[in-house]
């Protein structure tokens, strides 16, 4: 897959340009599936609706896509892969909401989507906060809200962790990011809401009109 891992969606022209480049065509010509699953342990149904409808200050579903569908991961095990896998393969982009990354990781595994991802060579994954963090090895205990999560481990499809919303007081300060990075104990990035991480063919690049820091 081609990844655009954001803190708060497509917030500026640099991130939008990176998205269009990954798509290889205009947003208006691209078909999207949005995944609201991570919303439920934290924001609930109203948060999921705002994400799906695009009525949120975190630009994702309201960017002007050719079409937008909803892929609710908790429903997929009862539908059968023969139904939902073609939906995913036909999409140009998966738009993945914020919320709790451990809950999202659980349902990505349960649904089978996690196993499918490596075969989606041309699909773009655009994550928002937890939708980005879910692809990392660990998120840190302070970002776990789901009470049934066994620990802070997620899918590990990339080899670095992400501290989102850098600069958002009172919790997401640089000092907090430094403490978090020491706990994580591996490569990590702290990114603000004007920053995204682009991953293509194993190559990692930061796209930013704001502030970020890499922790080796």
The number of domains in the chain is 1
Q: What is the pLDDT of residue 170?
A: 82
State which residues form the domain around 119: 2-215
Q: Please list, in sequence order, all residues whose beta carbon lies within 8 angstroms of the beta carbon of residue 119, skipping any fewer than 6 positions away.
A: none
Q: Please list, in sequence order, all residues whose beta carbon lies within 8 angstroms of the beta carbon of residue 92, skipping any fewer than 6 positions away.
A: 23, 25, 30, 31, 32, 122, 123, 124
Q: What is the pLDDT of residue 20?
A: 98
Mean pLDDT by 10 residues, the chain (216 residues): 97 98 98 96 89 92 97 95 97 97 97 97 97 98 92 97 93 94 96 98 96 96
106: domain CATH number? Answer: 3.40.50.880
Residues 41 and 183: their CA atoms lie apart, in Å, by 24
Give the residue among 198, 68, 191 at the shortest CA–CA distance from 129. 191
Rg (CA), the chain: 16
Residues 101 and 155: their CA atoms lie apart, in Å, by 9
Q: What is the pLDDT of residue 119?
A: 96
Q: What is the pLDDT of residue 43?
A: 83
């Amino acid at each position: 897959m081609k990844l655009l891992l954001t803190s708060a969606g497509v917030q500026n022209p640099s991130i939008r340009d990176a998205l269009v480049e990954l798509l290889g065509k205009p947003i208006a010509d691209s078909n999207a599936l949005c995944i609201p699953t991570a919303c439920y342990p934290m924001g609930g149904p109203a948060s999921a609706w705002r994400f799906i409808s695009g009525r949120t200050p975190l630009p994702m579903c309201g960017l002007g896509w050719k079409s937008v569908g909803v892929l609710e991961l908790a429903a997929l095990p009862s539908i059968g892969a023969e139904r939902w896998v073609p939906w995913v393969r036909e999409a140009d982009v998966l738009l993945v909401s914020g919320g709790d990354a451990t809950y999202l990781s659980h349902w990505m595994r349960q649904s089978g989507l996690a196993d499918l991802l490596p075969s989606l060579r041309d699909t773009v994954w655009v994550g928002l906060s937890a939708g980005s963090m879910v692809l990392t090895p660990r998120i840190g205990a302070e970002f776990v809200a789901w009470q049934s999560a066994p620990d802070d481990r997620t899918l590990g499809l990339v080899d670095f962790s992400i501290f989102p919303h850098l600069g958002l007081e009172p919790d997401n300060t640089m000092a907090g990011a430094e403490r978090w990075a020491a706990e994580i104990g591996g490569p990590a990035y702290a990114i603000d809401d004007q920053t995204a991480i682009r991953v293509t063919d194993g190559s990692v690049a930061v796209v930013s009109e704001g502030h970020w820091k890499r922790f080796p």
